[in-house]
Chain A
């Protein structure tokens, strides 16, 4: 059974870069999209972006200018960097496995990391 374990800094100052890493254990790394999703305190879910095992990236247009998602296939890990953070980026950040059941669209997030609360405060 696949498990996702994530880590990274939980407290940042405005203008710093958020950096999180997610490791995948117990399952295949290929054939999936590896995703980042965030949830501000008390609010809903926002997709940040994802990367295929081949390295193709897809980003939320509202965050695209600040987001980089990368993958290290040999280590079954993928990472998120979000630059120039502000208080509005305070959220629980989740890594997740995206399963595509068809050739176009059909992405479902079927396994999730434990979440990391990232707080941006001066």
Chain B
């Protein structure tokens, strides 16, 4: 299986901050990388797939980049509704695997 490692595991930030989350794959996955947002008690929501393609309806303050083994999710100006846990997922090969998550908390 391809292992996905996110960093940091959690971070504290203020409204308006620029936030960057990193995801690293254990082998090259080209750009086959998806990002999800999950709020407490809710199902995850697909934000970006693949790597840098924003899903319809997702605010433009979210962006993704990377290829090969290293990827980033950036929130350009953190909004109150962005406090959540973010997961990356490789879509290069079955079995699909997720990172362990990054929790974005209010500072």
Q: Could you tell me which A residues sit within 8 Å of B by CB distance?
A: 44-47, 58-61, 94, 96, 99, 101, 105-110, 112-115
Contacts and interface: CB of A to CB of B under 8 A. Distances in A.
A59 B95 CA distance: 7
A58 B1 CA distance: 13
A61 B100 contact: no
B34 A58 contact: no
B14 interface: no
Contacts of A99: 49
Identify whether the interface residues of A are mostly helix, strand, loop, or mixed.
strand
Given A44-B100, A45-B87, A45-B98, A108 B49 contact: yes
A59 B1 CA distance: 12
A112 B50 contact: no
Interface of B: 1, 32, 34, 36, 43-46, 49-50, 55, 87, 89, 91-101
Identify whether the interface residues of B are mostly helix, strand, loop, or mixed.
loop
Contacts of A94: 43-44
A60 B22 CA distance: 25
Contact of B91 (A44, A59, A105): A105
30 contacts: A44-B87, A44-B99, A44-B100, A44-B101, A45-B36, A45-B44, A45-B87, A45-B98, A46-B98, A59-B95, A94-B44, A99-B49, A101-B50, A105-B32, A105-B92, A105-B94, A106-B32, A107-B94, A107-B96, A108-B34, A108-B46, A108-B49, A108-B91, A109-B34, A109-B44, A110-B55, A112-B43, A113-B43, A114-B43, A115-B43
